[in-house]
Structure 1
């Protein structure tokens, strides 16, 4: 798989678990406004490929060695992630994005907060790796 975005999840805000109970997870860079920090996974050390995601390619989201297939994303999702470290992950497997900046994955069962500290990656599947 080719890594297109990587960062390190360094902290989970105290209200992240509430979002997970509703099937959503929000990230923001460590430069986020103080008011946001209770609600987000804080990420740092962001590295990304400047090319936008292609609608016809297959992508996966990996957080701390848990992997989900990305089913769709809003038009602003990639730009928001690259510029701000901001992403709203929705665990519903939708084929059409809920919002302009949302990214949907193929699970209806979000992870627990304690499983989310560590590396975060978005990768494109390649022909050599099609096991997901």
Structure 2
């Protein structure tokens, strides 16, 4: 498998874990505006080695999730801002342009130091 993107979470915003109860996770690179950072899992920004596509695999904190849908601006948002919303609902169509949908159970926690990778 080829790594399209890989990063490590360095901080968790004060309200970020609350999104897991709604079956989603919001990421942003280090240096996010303070009002946004509070709701995000913050990570070291990595380099993109391709485009995000349905059918690829997302790994998160040692769990594996098939990607079922990718919004039209998710690749550019991740590449430029380190920002995506991951929905754990297995949807076949992206709900919003910056969203990635994956199949599988929502994690109960994503600790600092966890790795997110997208593999083709």
- In 1, Cα distance between the equivalents of 2:65 and 2:85? 14
Q: 2:66 aligned with 1:100, yes or no?
A: no
* Structure 2: gaps spanning 5 or more residues: none
Query: Residue by residue, what CA displacement relative to the aligned partner does 1:31-77 show, whole Å, maximum 9, x if unpaired?
Result: 2111111110001041221x32355xx21111121110000010000
Matches within 5 A, 1:12-27: 12-27=12-27
Offset, 1:14: 1.8
Q: Partner of 1:128 in structure 2?
A: none
1:113 maps to which of 87, 103, 109: 109
Matches within 5 A, 1:1-132: 1-49=1-49, 51-54=50-53, 58-107=55-104, 109-115=105-111, 117-124=113-120
Q: Does the Cα contact within 8 Å between 1:12 and 1:113 map onto a contact in 2?
A: no
TM-score, normalised via structure 1 length: 0.84
Q: How many residues align?
A: 120
* Structure 1: gaps spanning 5 or more residues: 125-132
TM-score, normalised via structure 2 length: 0.92
Structure 1 residues 68 and 37, CA, compared in 2 at 3 Å: closer, same or farther?
same
Structure exhibiting the larger radius of gyration computed from Cα positions? 1
